[in-house]
Amino acid sequence: MWKLFAVFVALMLMPTLLPAQSSHSPYVGQEQRAIKALSDHEIQALLSGHGMGLAKAAELNRYPGPRHVLDMASQLGLSEMQRAEAQQIYDRMHQEAVRLGNLLIAKERELDRLFANNEIDAPTLQRVVQAIAQLQGELRITHLQAHVDMKHILSSDQTAQYDVLRGYGDSGQADVPSAHRHGKH
């Protein structure tokens, strides 16, 4: 009986003997950021026009990215015309991505400032967040469209080789409808 009582007391005291569970937010330290919603890495990626995974739907469904195609031009056996077209696609995409990235950072900075200065209200919140969402959508379209454009200048063999070189495995052509095999060069 005493043993049972001792076990009961030990169980009752256990929570006081264990260290308290941390209730810290996963955002600890982020309150020091210049723009709370964006890390320095995200800001740099937006300013540099990097893809940030925005074109993953294209990349992983056999729509090569222009930057990677240019990097692997010799392995893919690109013709001079294909290289020039790929460069044009990349340049167009990059210029627009940088432009949109700058606008997106400015809107995130505005949202952060409105909260920091206690100036936010429902209409302003809606206006700024909708502008941010619009810019995010435009940025994603910019990156995805570059992949669509790139697909049209590569042969089906080059696209398959791209997937292998990127580590996606031997994709083969059997599962790709003939209407999607657009290689022109």
First to last CA, the chain: 88
Q: Is 155 exposed, middle or buried (0-12, 13-18, 19+ CB in 10 A)?
A: middle
- Among residues 67, 65, 38, the alpha carbon closest in space to that of 136 is found at 38
Asked whether 30 and 42 are in contact (CB, 8 A), the reply is: no
Residue 99: pLDDT over 90: yes
129-159 pLDDT per residue, tens: 999 999 999 999 999 999 999 999 999 999 9
- The b-or-e profile of 102-135 (16+ CB within 10 A means b, else e) is ebbbebbbbbbeeeeeeeeeeeeeeebeebbeeb
Residue type, 114: L
3-state secondary structure of 28: coil
* Residue 157 burial (CB count, 10 A): 13
Query: Residue 90's pLDDT is what?
Result: 98
- Read off the pLDDT of residues 14-46 as tens digits, 9 standing for 90 and up: 555 555 556 888 889 888 889 999 999 999 999
